[in-house]
């Protein structure tokens, strides 16, 4: 079996109603059905099965690992998955509920909150906290400096294309006043999306033992992101030149390129699928991470994710194998 069918709202609501009805028939039966309900909630990754609408509506759902012919070598990564968005099913899953460090894939949530809560045309004044020179040499930045005036849309580009940690701080402070307050917004949004095994403490994903997610939660967040045209436009743009006004009024240009190797022509492209774009993430504790949106040869959209690959080479080698595993009949 190559996938696990997603459960639509009607069938699940009917199942819950039937369970309640049968519980009224017999006390012993009721206990049994309560156990079934608990198992159902666990299977569908939802601790709060009814909240005005059921969680798994239009989502891909799996209770655990799912095999796929030609799947990548799971021994060199910590988690991976392939989600068929149109078919609403999981074609492949490996350790998708294991809590892992997300590194800069965190920035998908930062981008989501910016798109939902900010005026993208607004000009943002960069603080000293967001100054690119305040970050360590190995911490990626997009080159903004204290006092710069940058549009929120360009900050999003710097965030998602270059993986700018400086842009993440500037966005967080503009929207919430501080990175701490923004992290609470991130956790609130994760809860709304039922990403129940996720906890954020910063907007960029620099390592913290209390900052983690799962491959499945990352899918939930990314799946929400791609509902917005602005997000798709940014992740599908390979190069961009930002015009930034400095504190002295002088305008300078910052040239940005996508960090993923597919966009840069540094990785073998999948055979038939077309990669739209996505987000990379790398720290020593997190390993090499990547989440992508791609279309199959038939134009069918998929989300693929790998977390904790041992090396960048293995990350892209196995991501290509994963995407090549899209069933030919889909």
**How is 19-45 classified by DSSP, letter by letter?**
HHHHHHH-HHHHHHHHHHHHHHHHHTT
Which of 80, 107, 132, 279 is an active site residue? 107
Look at the chain and count its residues: 330
Which of 33, 80, 89, 104 is an active site residue? 104
Q: What is the pLDDT of residues 270-305, one digit of tens each?
A: 999 999 999 999 999 999 999 999 999 999 999 999
Which residue stretches of the chain are H helix? 9-25, 27-43, 107-117, 152-160, 165-176, 179-192, 215-225, 229-235, 261-264, 312-324
For residue 19, is pLDDT > 60? no
Residue 107 annotated among the catalytic residues of the structure: yes
Confidence of residue 69 (pLDDT cuts 50, 70, 90): confident
Confidence of residue 55 (pLDDT cuts 50, 70, 90): low
Which of 80, 132, 151, 163 is an active site residue? 163
Name 30's Cβ contacts closer than 8 Å, sequence gap at least 6: 22, 23, 24
pTM metric for this prediction: 0.84
Residue 104 annotated among the catalytic residues of the structure: yes
The mean of the pLDDT values for the chain is 87
Confidence of residue 330 (pLDDT cuts 50, 70, 90): low
Residue 63 annotated among the catalytic residues of the structure: no
Q: What is the pLDDT of residues 140-175, one digit of tens each?
A: 999 999 999 999 999 999 999 999 999 999 999 999
């Amino acid at each position: 079996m190559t996938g696990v069918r997603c459960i639509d709202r009607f069938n699940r609501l009917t199942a819950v109603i039937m369970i309640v009805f049968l519980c009224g028939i017999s006390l012993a039966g009721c206990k049994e059905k309560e156990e079934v309900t608990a198992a159902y909630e666990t299977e569908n990754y939802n601790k709060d099965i009814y909240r005005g609408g059921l969680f798994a509506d239009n989502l891909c759902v799996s209770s655990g690992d799912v095999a796929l012919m030609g799947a990548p070598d799971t021994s060199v990564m910590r988690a991976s998955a392939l989600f068929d968005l149109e078919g609403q099913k999981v074609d492949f899953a490996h350790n998708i509920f294991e809590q892992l460090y997300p590194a800069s894939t965190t920035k998908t949530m930062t981008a989501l909150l910016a798109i939902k809560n900010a005026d993208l045309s607004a000009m943002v004044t960069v603080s000293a906290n967001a100054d690119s020179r305040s970050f360590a040499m190995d911490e990626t930045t997009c080159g903004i400096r204290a006092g710069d005036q940058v549009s929120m849309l360009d900050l999003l580009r710097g965030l998602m294309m270059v993986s700018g940690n400086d842009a993440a701080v500037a966005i967080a402070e503009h929207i919430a006043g501080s990175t701490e307050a923004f992290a609470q917004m991130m956790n609130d949004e994760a809860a709304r999306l039922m990403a129940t095994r996720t906890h954020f403490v910063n907007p960029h994903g620099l390592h913290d033992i209390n900052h983690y997610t799962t491959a499945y939660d990352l899918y939930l967040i990314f799946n929400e992101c791609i509902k917005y045209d602005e997000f798709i436009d940014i992740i599908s743009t390979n190069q961009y030149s930002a015009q930034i006004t400095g504190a002295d009024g002088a305008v300078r240009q910052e040239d940005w390129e996508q960090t993923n190797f597919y966009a840069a022509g540094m990785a073998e492209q999948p055979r038939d699928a077309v990669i739209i774009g996505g987000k990379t993430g790398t720290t020593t504790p997190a390993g090499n991470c990547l989440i992508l949106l791609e279309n199959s040869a038939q134009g069918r959209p998929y989300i693929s994710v790998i977390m904790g690959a041992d090396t960048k080479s293995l990350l892209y080698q196995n991501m290509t194998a994963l995407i090549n595993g899209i069933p030919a009949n889909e």
